Amino acid sequence: MEIMDDGIRLSAALEMPVPAEGKHPLVIFLHGFTSSKDKPHNILSCEAMREAGFATLRMDLYGHGESGGEFRDHTLYKWISNTLAAIDAAGKLDGVGDLYLSGHSQGGLVAALAAGMAPDRVKGLILRAPAFMIPRCAREGYMLGFRFDPFRIPEEIEVIKGLTLKGHYIRVAQTLHAEDAIKRFTNPVLILHGDEDDTVPLQDSVDAARKYKNCRLEIIQGETHHFDRRPEEMKRLIREWLKNKDI
């Protein structure tokens, strides 16, 4: 499946639960920074959603995976725009009911931001290790191990060997405030975070869970940022939360 956003082709995988007949709620899934829709932990999380009777739409965001755009040109604005385009596209699909958003790391931050912009369209959120610290770090002049003057942003930074980002990524991130999106979203939220995550601070998820009006935080003992040690526990928590009749 393809989704178009401002002339950019976005690659997406639509998968239905079994049995596929009838109308199903759908979860739009957003991957993280330098990741893709096809990473094993992303596929597994979507499997849990389908086991709970939800359809899933995994998508590659701007500059990542099989989608258009260059990695170095991607920004959070572009990813938010991609997400809103996916919400519009999903709303036109046959057999799809309520829409949910889910995301991992940077994708979790974007899911939270988009949900705050469209709380009338998003029934619930599933966030895995959401990178709420990105805007804060951009304002403080520290990102991905790279320090800079937040008032004199470099034109380009090397984030990983061989991968560079334009300074516009930082400029955009500085303008975003996750707290505002959290306040605007009152529907149910599930946050999953491993206590051995060395990429995204666990405390940010703890703080976000307190700020959301209707949030359940699950801390998975011994789990890392990529949920590769206890994947079945991750799946169980997602599956059980989605099966809860209160949501």
pLDDT digits (tens, 9 = 90+) for 204-231: 999 999 999 999 999 999 999 999 999 9
Q: Could you tell me the residue range of the domain that residue 192 belongs to?
A: 2-133+178-243
Does 36 map to a domain? yes
pLDDT of residue 83: 98
Let me know if residue 233 belongs to a domain: yes
Which residues have C-beta within 8 Å of that of residue 67, sequence separation ≥ 6? 8, 9, 10, 11, 59, 60, 61
Has residue 23 been placed in a domain?
yes
Q: What percent of the chain has pLDDT over 70?
A: 98
Neighbours of 184 (CB within 10 A): 13
List of the chain residues with pLDDT < 50: none
Q: What is the pLDDT of residues 227-239, one digit of tens each?
A: 999 999 999 999 9
In a domain, 183, yes or no: yes
156 occurs within a structural domain:
no
Q: Is residue 167 part of a domain?
A: no
| Total number of domains constituting the chain | 1
Residue 33 belongs to domain with CATH number = 3.40.50.1820
Q: Is residue 173 part of a domain?
A: no
Q: Do the domain assignments include residue 207? A: yes
